[in-house]
Amino acid sequence: MKLLIIGGSGFVSGTLARIALEQGHLVTTVTRGQRKVPEGVQSIIVDRKEREAFAEAIESHGGEWDLVADCIGFAPEDARQDIECLKNRARHLVFISTDFVFDPSDRVYPQPEDGAYRADNSYGHKKRLCELEILNADTGNMDWTILRPCHIYGPGSLLGCLPTHGRDPDLLQKMKAGQPLALVGGGHFLQQPIFAPDLAALILSCAGNKSCQGGIFNAAGPDIIESKKYYEIIADVLGVRTSFVEIPVDEHLKVSPSQDAFLCHRIYDLTRLKEAGMKAPSTSIQDGLRLHAESLLNPR
């Protein structure tokens, strides 16, 4: 199929581009050209925030796509841009939202897609505004699907799922040196991380699937674990022992109030995704974290 990725050279979008190419799809990417795009894509260079330039770039490219994946929509204007510029050129739009749309202090376990949303100026609230933009728009003949991934991990990103070692560039070094890890809440918050290649497969599985048209879906991995388990699996890969120091939640929130979204159980009901016949994430946390850690230990 013909796939357009808004993004294409970063973590999620780069993983999607590589997997789509491996599967023989024709891939076009939209980036600002600051990072190398995977070999084999057709590259459009434009800053999506430059609205007129973006519209012109799409227009002059003239493409038509079976699937568009917007991996970098963060403001309602971005979602509006997808609809305005692509509804007559794409059969299906997949918009990558986030589990941070939910209010961390008002959750259900496992959390279904309908719930209490944040109402502030946060990243998660802005993603919810993007969702509403799409939900309420006239998208013409273009189908759409919104995916809400939780913690995404895998080669191409840093390791770490919880403050104070979220995406910690020195995590492996610290663990090898036997340094205790300081985790908020002692690392007891539950998580259901999704492996980036599984997310890519899920995105691709939306194309041509009428059951996911007009739907919002949680996107989480197959395993529910305590956050500390994530670090223990990495310790096993390294062949080291690890220990933890607990940072009290209220203490951490006083210094980093914007990190409240991390400080709740992040576990999700995947019934809707499975019933729609989409590709359910299946990589075990052990296998995924091993691949992730090894990619950092042996960079290519």
Ligand X SMILES: NC(=O)c1ccc[n+]([C@@H]2O[C@H](COP(=O)([O-])OP(=O)(O)OC[C@H]3O[C@@H](n4cnc5c(N)ncnc54)[C@H](OP(=O)(O)O)[C@@H]3O)[C@@H](O)[C@H]2O)c1
Kindly list the residues in this chain that would bind ligand X in the complex (CB under 6 A): 7-14, 30-35, 47-49, 71-72, 96, 98, 149, 151-152
Q: Of 8 and 288, which has the nearer Cβ to ligand X?
A: 8
Helix, strand or coil for residue 33?
A: coil
Q: Of 49 and 274, which has the nearer Cβ to ligand X?
A: 49
* 146: Cβ contacts below 8 Å, ≥ 6 apart: 94, 95, 97, 131, 134, 215, 216, 217
Q: How far is the CB of 196 from ligand X (least distance, A)?
A: 8
Q: How far is the CB of 262 from ligand X (least distance, A)?
A: 10
Q: Of 12 and 202, which has the nearer Cβ to ligand X?
A: 12
Contact 8, 37 (CB under 8 A): yes
Q: How far is the CB of 178 from ligand X (least distance, A)?
A: 28
Q: How far is the CB of 244 from ligand X (least distance, A)?
A: 21
Helix, strand or coil for residue 86?
A: helix
Q: Of 168 and 246, which has the nearer Cβ to ligand X?
A: 168
Q: Of 162 and 183, which has the nearer Cβ to ligand X?
A: 162
Q: How far is the CB of 261 from ligand X (least distance, A)?
A: 10
Q: Is the peptide bond before 164 cis (omega within 30 degrees of 0)?
A: yes
Q: What does the alpha-carbon distance between residue 174 and residue 228 come to, in Å, rounded to a whole number?
A: 15
β-sheet with 67-70: strand ranges across: 42-45, 26-31, 2-6, 67-70, 92-96, 143-149, 215-219
Q: How far is the CB of 69 from ligand X (least distance, A)?
A: 9
Give the strand pairing for 225-226 and 26-31: unpaired
- Which position's Cβ is nearest ligand X? 10
Contact 53, 69 (CB under 8 A): no
DSSP state of 255: H
Q: Of 34 and 141, which has the nearer Cβ to ligand X?
A: 34
Q: How far is the CB of 241 from ligand X (least distance, A)?
A: 27
Q: What does the alpha-carbon distance between residue 298 and residue 93 come to, in Å, rounded to a whole number?
A: 36
CB atoms within 10 A of CB 197: 20
Residue 247, φ and ψ in degrees, nearest 5: -100, 120
Q: Of 10 and 215, which has the nearer Cβ to ligand X?
A: 10
